[in-house]
Amino acid sequence: MENSWKPKGWLSILYGFVLQPFTFLYVNKAKLFWFYLILTILVSLIDTKLHAIPNKEAWYQSVYFTWLIFLICPLHAFLISRRYDKAQIRKWYASWWATLVCFVVVFILTFLGRTFLFEPFSIPAKSMSPALNPGDQLIVSKRGYGNYKYLGIQIYKTEPSEALQRGDVVVFQYPQNPSIDYVKRVIGLPGDKVVYRNKSIFIKPSCLDESANCPSFKEVEKEYKFTRSEDDSEHEYYQESLGKVSYDIKLNSNHIDLANRYFYQVGTQQDEWLIPDNHYFVLGDNRDNSLDSRYWGFVPESNIVGRVTFKW
């Protein structure tokens, strides 16, 4: 491109505020674009983690470090535009329209990735402790579950092509209020019979032919690990094994099972459930501090958002 070109200062500032790192493409500095893009991502992750920690009195709860990016990017880009060397080679992205195109392409890729592949979530409560605690960040795999949303807005919905397994930790839309996302562990699959009694789980797997040699109820194994005092109560920690999956659970030794408040299914006992087709039974790992399938029933497979694949 021609060597007489020079980036406009006002546009460098505008792009710096609105597009942040992309302003450095406009001023012909690709290396700075990558530097500030990585810096923006890292700073955003730090802000997300700090503001997810449940400590409202901490100084960082009223501060966002990404504010610095909004100040630094336009200022740095403006200084580059003022001192721009016209003798340098102007790259293809160094124009007002090419910079916008780059931003739109990245936005579309981000939108598609977050909608159909992976989405971040935060843990606000203790119902999945000790595996997941308040402030933990999750990456949820959404591919194959058919429930595709972007920032809470339903984009597309189809029949799921992936089946969940016992022990999977999943994010789903709360059946009684689909605008709220819950995270729990899958305990029972469609057709299973589940009993929760005396803080123990019993599962009778689905059997299509009741006249055949169907498996009977089997208690989910759990092994005692230790006891810890928390919140003025004694909590016992166990390692529970569900198929090939092992995980820790927490039981409050002072808490009595509230079976009279359990979700009642016609034709079963108060603490027993037969899971309908296309539904799942879920529990929190913090068994005595979790609002789950015991109290409100089953999760339709159409409510499943995705499976937790990573936490930090």
Q: Which residues are catalytic?
A: 127, 184
Q: Considering just the CA atoms, what is the radius of gyration of the chain in Å?
A: 26
For helices 30-52 and 66-82, what crossing angle results, to 10°? 160
- Cα–Cα distance between 298 and 291 in angstroms, integer? 12
Kindly list the distances between the CA atom of residue 11 and the CA atoms of 21, 73, 99, 205, in Å, as whole numbers in the listed order: 13, 12, 11, 64
Q: Which secondary structure element, helix H or strand E, spans residue 233, and what is its range?
A: strand 233-242
- Cα–Cα distance between 249 and 226 in angstroms, integer? 11
- 130: cis peptide before it, omega within 30°? yes
| DSSP code at position 255 | P
* Type of residue found at 110: T
Tell me how crowded residue 158 is: count the other CB atoms within 10 A of its CB: 10
65 with 47: CB under 8 angstroms? yes
Q: Which residues contact 112 (CB under 8 A, 6 or more apart)?
A: none
* Type of residue found at 104: V
Q: What are the backbone dihedrals phi and psi of residue 14, each rounded to the nearest 5 degrees, phi first?
A: -60, -50
* Type of residue found at 94: A
The edge-to-edge listing of strands for the beta sheet with 169-173 is 118-122, 137-141, 304-311, 169-173, 181-188, 279-283, 299-300
Query: C-alpha dihedral over 54, 55, 60, 64, to 10 degrees?
Result: 30
